[in-house]
Structure 1
């Protein structure tokens, strides 16, 4: 069986890496021959038109040679989707964000929404990253399944560092895309007050790219540091953190996320997490067991102050954090098994 994966980005883009590229070796072991191609950044003008035409032709040629065409989180022009649906033996569309909505601070055009919905409608199967996204997709198709995002067990096990904390030093950590920094800024005042009161706390922010905002910029060089995210260094940088932070907003965009990967990453490293109880998070994080749930800015201040004064609690939570990832089947091999089963079921329908 041959499968073509068309991805929204390369391995540096989290959704493409975790929902496609990390799964490919497992699919190969299961006898599925895979080929992948990432959508490039197109230039403007005539050069861009030529690039798009060449890319489209290349895709269509590859589609004809594969049994499965897997489109990951891309919005194609509706005419191109129509062609794909007609010439593909089996077309699968995968998305793990509410891309029919605009994330905070951004807009989404009606053409983008129409392209997204057309892909759902014309695909033989849609794979959604959360139950909320499944419900959205069911407006356009009955052929939809849920598959959460997984992370590679071996890579995280290599960086697990479970040890007693030095009570004089507790490193808080936030990791994520720069466009999500506004979530952190929502509790900047409360965290700053805790940092001011407790000398044993410091904060590491791991991100990359152009920063739309820069929370805690007045504290940089004192008890706050920005560390550039890279594919090679991110895990080691995050593994040094003692407590992960994930403030969120309770809105449709957040509730529809396909796995809350930054939280799962921390748990996989044995790092307990303080998070806002939104959607899956309120079940994933068990208060005072593998982390803490902070439902208001005031609770963020209280919880972090308690951590500063009682750091031994964190060590007791580390093993439970790791167990959570296994019990929820958030490892890549679990996701791969799910995808392999889905692909085999689709092939049997043909």
Structure 2
């Protein structure tokens, strides 16, 4: 068995697995820790086989999976140190009336608190999530989702033409875009829209642009093609649990973020310096217009945004914070 085992609720394409599990597996291996990850079995039969074969493991990280009391107890007995990691408000309904697969499930907060009370430490993606479980957890650490700033870099100089205002995300979050697009309509002819998602959305008449299918291979080039990155959100339990990773992707690749003034967005963006925080759709339009019409402002803010991601949200800094929580070495918590 490995020294460090991550158990995930889904496969490698889920963002929380791609960015909160797989990079740390590689980082651990790079410093000589035998690390691995496995998807938590779906069926009762598969879970029975899994637990039958699970030997004593020094560190087990359960990533976002709310297991039953019996399974938590079995993991507790097999793990020298058991840690729970999460980066979403797992108890909250999506504001798009089930756009992400349904509303709030009864008892989800109670399940989360029970799991957090039964582990040695909890790693939360932001302060809002951490505060939700502090009363029951033995130890809580806040660890924003890191970004490999050596992979997510600005692209080559953009070709002449209108600035590209982009959005990248999963189809359930297309819900947030229509009011922003409506507010941007007066800027037709001054910008191009770029939507990159696993779903599609109709762009408003008069606004030029494209809606392209997301793939792992084209993710970074599509981000590099953006001059301005949008992250509109409503203000509720679900969105306050978001960890702003979309903003980090924009910023690392040279796009200036314009984001809703909600939750963890406030801890990523310094308004007016490396991005803008918007209170409503009209604010989005005003800040986008400022950036579209002032290339020098755009360049200054993009450089500051990139520098912030490298310094505060890079993978090396995140690993240095995570290892002490897992009991794998020294460093700041």
Residues 3-23 of structure 1: per-residue CA shift (max 9 Å, x gap): 111112222111111100011
Structure 1 residue 182 and structure 2 residue 182: aligned? no
Higher RCO (CA-CA < 8 Å; seq separation 6+): 1
Which residue of 1 is the match for residue 62 of structure 2?
71
- Mapping 1:1-350, distance limit 5 Å: 2-39=3-40, 52-104=43-95, 105-106=97-98, 107-157=103-153, 160-161=154-155, 163=157, 166=160, 168-195=161-188, 199-209=189-199, 214-216=201-203, 218-219=204-205, 223-257=208-242, 259-327=243-311, 329-344=312-327
Q: Deviation string for 1:302-323 (max 9, x for gaps)? A: 2223333323321222211111
Paired residues of 2:226 and 2:255 also in contact (CA < 8 A)? yes
- What is the TM-score when the length of structure 2 is the normalising length? 0.89
8 Å CA contact 1:90, 1:346 repeated in 2: no
Q: CA deviation at 1:343?
A: 1.4
- TM-align CA RMSD: 2.3
Gaps of 5+ in 1: 43-51
- Name structure 2 gaps, 5 residues minimum: none
TM-superposed CA distance for 1:188, in Å, is: 2.6
Q: Deviations over 1:107-134 (max 9, x none)?
A: 1222433332221111111111111111
Q: Which has the higher helix share?
A: 1
Q: Which runs of 4+ in 1 moved over 4 A?
A: none
Aligned length in residues: 324
Deviation at 1:345, TM superposition (A): 6.3
Structure-2 separation of matches of 1:202 and 1:71: 42
SS in 2 for 1:136: helix
Does structure 2 conserve the Cα–Cα contact (< 8 Å) formed by 1:30 and 1:340?
no
Would the aligned equivalents of 1:7 and 1:73 in 2 still touch at CA under 8 Å?
yes
CA displacement 1:305-347 (0-9 Å, x = unmatched): 33333233212222111111133x2111211221112112699
Aligned with 2:112: secondary structure? Answer: helix
Q: Tell me the TM-score normalized by structure 1.
A: 0.85
Question: In terms of mean alpha carbon deviation, does 56-65 or 71-80 score higher?
Answer: 56-65
Work out the CA distance in 1 between the residues paired with 2:329 and 2:117. Answer: 16
User: Which residue is equivalent to 1:47?
Assistant: none
